[in-house]
């Protein structure tokens, strides 16, 4: 018998249309894994109802009466996808050895779960689901996504391109992730910070088979901005560069205006105005960036992110 308990965590927000299908497809995968002795018979599916207004929670309750492997959490209100995922992980991590998160709409290929489990047994603590193509995305979504990944990279944020929140994590990786106390969650940026050996599984991402996307453009832009401002103080550094650039320009301008002035032909007051506008602008930007540097420090301090994760130590055992 295999003792590794797997929990498949599925966040759901108004997903009554997709839930029956999701329940049976993911249920099949889980049952196959159990019968192939890849995971423990105690393995579960955990639906996280993110304050749905429709019949989602009623369905989840019904399924969990019907099937022993189906469980659920419901929130008091809608807290958002990322919070739903984290809640699922924090509840599941008490009992599970392996946790997989997947969206309710089956856009991500559930069969990739088999490959993820194999990669786990090959010694990976994190397995990212990576979409191999973006054929089903609109031109706009594909290109904005690509631009976002390259921008994030320039900002010094480590992301796995084309991976979202479809991934496997081992218990110890999830416990490390739960040490991050920040409120602005951007899990796909946080998971790589956890470290450990990781791997990727590629799959084709499909269209949502029913229901509407819960991520309209406005929410997506907010999410992207959240990603940048939760992970990078690069924008502050850019203010500093701009400040330095403008001060340099003002020095060149100073020389130019003085030459003009001594050659005659300038209106009186022009030189002093030109010099002061540019120099003051530069000084202001530079001062702002000094303040920004301190705010950047406060930003990293208040996050109270763990300073390190220890993979193994035997000191404590030997001291017993
Ligand atoms: N979701 C959630 N809370 C929200 C919004 C979305 O739990 O406030 C869930 C949703 O039910 C789905 C997943 O997050 O399982 C991804 O949402 P969706 O498929 O609508 O996003 P898209 O794939 O269009 O980016
Ligand atoms: Mg979707």
Which tens digit of pLDDT belongs to each residue from 238-267? 999 999 999 999 999 999 988 988 888 788
CA of 42 to the centre of ligand 1 (A): 27
Give the model's confidence band at 149: pLDDT under 50 very low, under 70 low, under 90 confident, else very high: confident
CA of 167 to the centre of ligand 2 (A): 15
Fold of 6-231+305-319: Spore Coat Polysaccharide Biosynthesis Protein SpsA; Chain A (3.90.550)
* Mean of pLDDT over the chain: 92
Note the helical H segments in 74-160: 81-92, 112-121, 139-154
CA of 49 to the centre of ligand 1 (A): 11
Give the model's confidence band at 154: pLDDT under 50 very low, under 70 low, under 90 confident, else very high: confident
Query: What are the pocket residues of ligand 1 if the criterion is a CB atom closer than 6 Å to any ligand atom?
Result: 11-13, 15, 50, 78, 80-81, 84, 103-105, 107, 208, 213-215
Q: What is the pLDDT of residue 13?
A: 96
User: Residues 100-108: what's their mean pLDDT?
Assistant: 95
Atom of ligand 1 nearest to the CA of 164: 25
Query: Checking DSSP bridges between strand 98-101 and strand 163-170, what pairing results, if any?
Result: antiparallel
* Whether residue 133 has pLDDT greater than 80: no
Q: What is the pTM of this model?
A: 0.87
Residue 129 β-bridge partners = 201
Atom of ligand 1 nearest to the CA of 80: 8
Ligand lying nearest the CA atom of residue 12 = 1
Supply φ then ψ for residue 167, to 5 degrees: -160, 160
Evaluated on CA atoms 76, 81, 87, 93, the torsion sign reads positive
CA of 269 to the centre of ligand 1 (A): 61
Q: What is the pLDDT of residue 211?
A: 81
Other residues' Cβ atoms within 10 Å of the Cβ of residue 124 = 21
Query: In whole angstroms, what is the distance from residue 192 CA to residue 156 CA?
Result: 13
Ligand lying nearest the CA atom of residue 9 = 1
Q: What is the pLDDT of residue 271?
A: 84
pLDDT in tens, 165-200: 999 999 999 999 999 999 989 999 999 999 999 999
Query: In whole angstroms, what is the distance from residue 22 CA to residue 9 CA?
Result: 12
pLDDT in tens, 4-47: 999 999 999 999 999 999 999 999 999 999 999 999 999 999 99
Q: What percent of the chain has pLDDT over 70?
A: 100
Query: In whole angstroms, what is the distance from residue 293 CA to residue 12 CA?
Result: 40
Q: What percent of the chain has pLDDT over 90?
A: 69
Give the position of tokens 């249920």. Answer: 27
Burial class (CB in 10 A: 0-12, 13-18, 19+), 150: exposed
* Whether residue 121 has pLDDT greater than 90: yes
Ligand lying nearest the CA atom of residue 223 = 1
């Amino acid at each position: 018998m295999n003792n590794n308990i797997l929990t498949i965590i599925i966040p759901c927000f108004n997903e009554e249309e997709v839930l029956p299908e999701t329940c049976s497809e993911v249920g099949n995968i889980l049952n196959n894994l159990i019968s192939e002795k890849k995971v423990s018979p105690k393995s579960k599916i955990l639906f996280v109802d993110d304050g749905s207004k429709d019949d989602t929670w009623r369905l989840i309750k019904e399924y969990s009466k019907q099937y022993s492997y189906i469980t659920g959490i419901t929130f008091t209100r809608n807290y958002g996808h990322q919070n739903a995922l984290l809640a699922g992980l924090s509840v599941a991590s008490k009992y599970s050895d392996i946790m997989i998160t997947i969206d309710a709409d089956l856009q991500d290929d559930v069969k990739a779960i088999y490959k993820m489990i194999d990669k786990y047994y090959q010694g990976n603590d994190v397995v990212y689901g990576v979409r191999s193509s973006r054929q089903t995305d609109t031109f706009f979504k594909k290109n904005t996504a690509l631009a976002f990944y390259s921008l994030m990279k320039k900002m010094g944020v480590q992301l796995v391109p084309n991976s979202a929140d479809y991934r496997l994590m081992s218990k110890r990786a999830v416990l490390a992730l739960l040490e991050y106390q920040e409120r602005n969650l951007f899990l796909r940026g946080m998971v790589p910070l956890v470290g450990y050996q990781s791997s990727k599984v590629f799959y084709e991402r499909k269209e949502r088979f029913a229901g509407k996307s819960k991520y309209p453009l406005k929410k997506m832009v907010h999410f992207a901005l959240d990603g940048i401002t939760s992970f990078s103080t690069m924008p502050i550094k850019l203010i500093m560069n701009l400040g330095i650039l403008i001060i340099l320009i003002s020095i060149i301008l100073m020389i130019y205006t003085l030459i003009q002035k001594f050659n005659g032909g300038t209106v009186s007051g022009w030189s002093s105005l030109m010099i002061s506008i540019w120099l003051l602008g530069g000084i202001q930007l530079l001062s702002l960036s000094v303040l920004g540097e301190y705010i950047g420090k406060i930003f990293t301090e208040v996050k109270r992110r763990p300073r390190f994760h220890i993979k193994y130590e035997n000191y404590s055992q030997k001291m017993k």
